[in-house]
Structure 1
Amino acid sequence: MITTEQAKEYLASVGITLPDFILQALVDQVNSIQECLDANYPASTAMLIQLYLLGLMGLAQGDKYLSSQSAPSGASRSFRYQSFSDRWKGSLSLLRGLDKYGCATSLTPPDPTQQAFAGIWIGKGGCFCQK
């Protein structure tokens, strides 16, 4: 089982900050697949699957990330990230690479980077007859 403190620490390490009540709800969701994970994976792999799933859920909450921070003492830090689409696909690949039994599939958020395009295709027929 993932604790909210572990979840908060992991998400902070990848630049995602969520309100505590949302974090708790996500942790509850992630922990709901514990039985499937216990049946199919060692504890360390199960934890990584849960953390990667949590990361995807956190990414799906929005695209707001820590880019710089400063303290009154003058200390500061900043982070550079790939595009949201690249981060999403990378996290999803990590999760799918580990979760061979599909324990997290039903909880994995839909890909927000997919776009559907619709259009009308019109074909015009004619005769290419020679006179």
Structure 2
Amino acid sequence: MSIVITVEQVNEQLEVMGFEATSLVISSAISIVDTIDTCLDNAGYSDAVVTLIKLYSVILILSSADVRKISSEHAPSGASVSYQYFADGRKTLLKTLSSLDPSGCTDSLPIERPVGIVQFDVVRG
């Protein structure tokens, strides 16, 4: 049985984190995450785990878009607003998502993951 994540739920989580995104972008990200429902159902995850996997996946997809928070505002008419983009919590969310989804259902989603560095040593003899 598929768990439904709503725009309101994502907005609530983003608000707690201090970020914002448009309803259109959120609903589009939700639609993308909904494509892994069959995998999540087959993996046998609990409803709570599926909810977190889907919510975190949507937030991570949004983090590649225009998810931002106001970091400072100035006024008496030298009006200025500065934004901070979603970079600080991304690594932690990715780590949490990986531990929640050992079956790899989210691997097919457009979530930017850090690339590991591989070093090869060439020895000539």
Query: Same fold judged by TM-score > 0.5?
Result: yes
Task: Give, in angstroms, the shift of residue 108 of structure 1.
Answer: 4.1
Q: Which residue number corresponds to residue 50 of structure 1?
A: 54
Q: How many residues align?
A: 101
* Residues 7-16 or 91-100, more deviating: 7-16
| Alignment deviations for residues 34-84 of structure 1 (CA, whole Å, 9 cap, x no partner) | 121122201110000111111211211146224368xxxxxxxxxxx9x82
Distance 2:41 2:111 in 1: 22
Amino acid corresponding to residue 105 of structure 1 in structure 2: D
Distance 1:108 1:98 in 2: 17
> After the TM superposition, which segments of 4 or more aligned residues of structure 1 sit over 2 Å from their partners?
66-69
Amino acid corresponding to residue 97 of structure 1 in structure 2: S
5+ long unaligned stretches in structure 1? 70-80, 117-131
Q: TM-score, normalised by structure 1?
A: 0.66
Distance 1:105 1:11, change over 3 A: same
Report the structure, 1 or 2, having the larger strand content: 2
Aligned-partner SS, 1:17: coil
Show the 5 A alignment for 1:1-131: 1-40=4-43, 41-62=45-66, 64-67=68-71, 84=87, 86-111=88-113
Q: Pick the structure with greater CA Rg.
A: 1
Contact 1:45–1:98 (8 Å) recurs in 2: yes
Distance 1:28 1:93 in 2: 23
Distance 1:64 1:45, change over 3 A: same
Identity %: 30
Distance 2:50 2:98 in 1: 12
Task: Give, in angstroms, the shift of residue 89 of structure 1.
Answer: 1.0
